[in-house]
Structure formats: structure tokens, C-alpha cells
Amino acid sequence: MKQLSFLDRHLTWWILGAIVVGLVLGKFLPFVPRALEGMAWGATNIPIAIGLMVMMYPPLAKANYRLMPKVFQNAKLVGFSLALNWIVGPVLMFGLAVVFLRDEPGYMSGLILIGLARCIAMVLVWNDLAEGNRELAAGLVAVNSLFQVVAYSFYAWLFMSELPAWLGIRSMALNVPMSLVAETVALYLGVPFVLGALSREVAIRNKGEEWFNREFVPRISPWTLVALLFTIVVMFSLKGDQILALPLDVLRVSLPLVLYFGLMFLVSMLLGRRMDACHADCTAVAFTASGNNFELAIAVAVAMFGIDSQQAFVGVVGPLIEVPALLVMVRVSRAFKQGS
């Protein structure tokens, strides 16, 4: 824990604090949510849209896309990672959603959105704490970043609209036009991706990679958490009354999330060891497969279903569960290393 920055070390508490602040603003200072509701362009709330795009910029700027060719030299390990991220992870989350939330299509689809959003940010922190292969983790993050830009809209349409109908679970099938998901992903992921990749290349070309990592990255890194907390405050100030009426729903959503993180990490780690990969490589693959991009899931949920939707509610609950779960995984990974 001491290796984490002050902000990252207390992430769970920051999120809980932002929820409380939002609820207090909505309850005792009603002019604040009224002002926020007035800042809209069509169905888009401008403060939330800005917060969501700022959230996505730092991890996309930090991803080292130049590592991708080198990472792909280990084709077997990269193929294993891609299968975990883009087949096993989404299918596992879909299955858990069916088992635990079949009677709540909104919560179900919120979980699916999380399962489809592969981790591109904090995973590098957890991987470092667990002594994983930094270069491999950075390369896999870059691969996931590009895959999300290209594939997320198709995956969301497939898993939320088509797959439930194919399996005969029509009560869970939502009418999710792929064009709408594509527009949302283009705005909240595509724009930050272009800005992040361009700013990275321009900064490195003019100042050098050492300056970029030493000066630029520390400056932009807190933006993700600050923007996330701002977005949570706004969301809970606007819809706090509805959320306060659903305390037990937090527990319902939390259980499949805990199972997801635990299963993804253990399956990834154990299968990697059976492939005779070293501990550092197994750790990098396991963390990149286990973490999720909650920022993207929240952005898509808010844009498609609204601030007060069950899908957005699940997206906010997600980081509360992920942070302590991944800290436990750091300890488990170190136990695996000691037992090797």
C-alpha cells in the first residue's frame, strides 16, 4: 500500500466520500442539482460528459503503443491474454449476470458493460505492486486500448441485444442499436484516445520519453480520479433520492463482481503457470485480464441509459469492489511467487 500514491491508496474512501458529498448536495442544496440539470445539450449533461472524457484521457495517453510490436513477439502469451480479455472475461460476466440478476435487466446490462470494458489504467499500478512484468503489462494495456476503440460497440450490441435473444432469455434482451453504442464509444473513448495518442507522440518528440514519464505523466495521472469523483458527485446529487432507496441492491451487484474478479485472476494465473510462463509474465497477464475500465462502462451507461439508470448505478458501485479485490490479488500473487 505504501507504494501507491496518496490518491490511489485511499481510492475506495474517496469514492465513498464523493457519494456522500453528492447525496448531501442533492438533499440540502437543491439549487446545485437544478443548476447542473440546466447545463445540458439535448439529452447530454455537459458537466458529466466533460468529466467522463477527462477520466479517459490519462490512461490512453500513458499507454505505450510502441511496445505492441515487441509484445507480439511472444505470440502464445499475447494470444492467451487476448482470449482471456475478449472471450473469457465477457462470457464470464455475462454468465454471472444471468445467474444473479436475471430478474433485473438494468443491473444485468450494467454488469455486462463492465465485463466488456477491459482495464487500461490502474492495472499497471497493481501489476507493479505484485512484481509483474512491466513491459508486458504496458504492451497488453496498449493492445486492449486499441481493441476497445475498435470492438467495444460491437461487443455491447452483441452481448446486450443479440446474445440474450439467441439464448432464449428474452426478458433480459435490450434493444441496443449498435450505431448508438458506436457513437457513444467514439465520443467518450475515441476522442480521448486520439488526444492521448497525439499528446504522447508530440511530447516525446519534443521533450523526450524521460521527460514525458518524469514530468508529464505525474501531472495528468490525478485527472482520472478527480474526474471520476466529480462525475460521481454530480450523478449522486442529481439522483441521490433514488439511490438511497436501493441499499440492498449494492449487495446484489457486489456479489457477482467479487466472484468475477476472483475467478478471472485465479484462472489467468493458474493457466499461465501451466503454460510454463514465468511468475512475472503470469502476473501481468492475470492483472490485465482481471481489471476493468469502469470509466468507459460509466460513460456508456450514462450516455445510453441516463444518469438515473440501473446501468449507471452498477458502474459507480464497480470501483468500490474492484479496488479492495485487486489489493487482495496483489497479496495472492506474491503468495504464488513465494510458493513457486
Whole-model pTM?
Answer: 0.78
How many domains in the chain?
1
62-81 pLDDT, tens digit each: 878 787 777 777 788 889 99
- Within a domain: residue 29? yes
| CA–centroid distance for 296 within its chain | 6
- Within a domain: residue 32? yes
- pLDDT exceeds cutoff 60 at 322: yes
- Within a domain: residue 224? yes
Domain residues for the domain of 312 are: 6-339
Is the Cβ–Cβ distance between 183 and 196 less than 8 Å?
A: no
Q: Cβ-count burial of 28 within 10 angstroms (0-12 exposed, 13-18 middle, 19+ buried)?
A: exposed
- Within a domain: residue 97? yes
- pLDDT exceeds cutoff 60 at 208: yes
132-183 pLDDT, tens digit each: 887 788 788 878 888 888 888 889 888 988 888 888 776 555 666 677 677 7
- pLDDT exceeds cutoff 80 at 45: no
Is the Cβ–Cβ distance between 287 and 329 less than 8 Å?
A: yes
Is the Cβ–Cβ distance between 275 and 76 less than 8 Å?
A: yes
Cα separation, 216 vs 199, in Å, equals: 10
Is the Cβ–Cβ distance between 282 and 269 less than 8 Å?
A: yes
- Within a domain: residue 1? no
Task: Write the DSSP assignment of 227-260 as a string of letters.
Answer: HHHHHHHHHHHHHHHHHHT-HHHHHHHHHHHHHH
- Within a domain: residue 140? yes
pLDDT at 205: 93
- Within a domain: residue 80? yes
2-26 pLDDT, tens digit each: 555 566 666 678 877 888 888 888 8
pLDDT at 244: 62
- pLDDT exceeds cutoff 70 at 247: no
Cα separation, 142 vs 146, in Å, equals: 6
**Pairwise pLDDT comparison (186 vs 110), residue with the higher score:** 110
Cα separation, 269 vs 281, in Å, equals: 9
- We report the CATH number of the domain holding residue 329 as 1.20.1530.20
DSSP summary character for residue 65: G
- pLDDT exceeds cutoff 60 at 58: yes
- Within a domain: residue 286? yes
Q: Over range 248-275, report the average pLDDT.
A: 90
Q: How confident is the model at residue 122 (pLDDT cuts 50, 70, 90)?
A: low
pLDDT at 150: 82
Q: Over range 37-41, report the average pLDDT.
A: 74
Q: How confident is the model at residue 36 (pLDDT cuts 50, 70, 90)?
A: confident
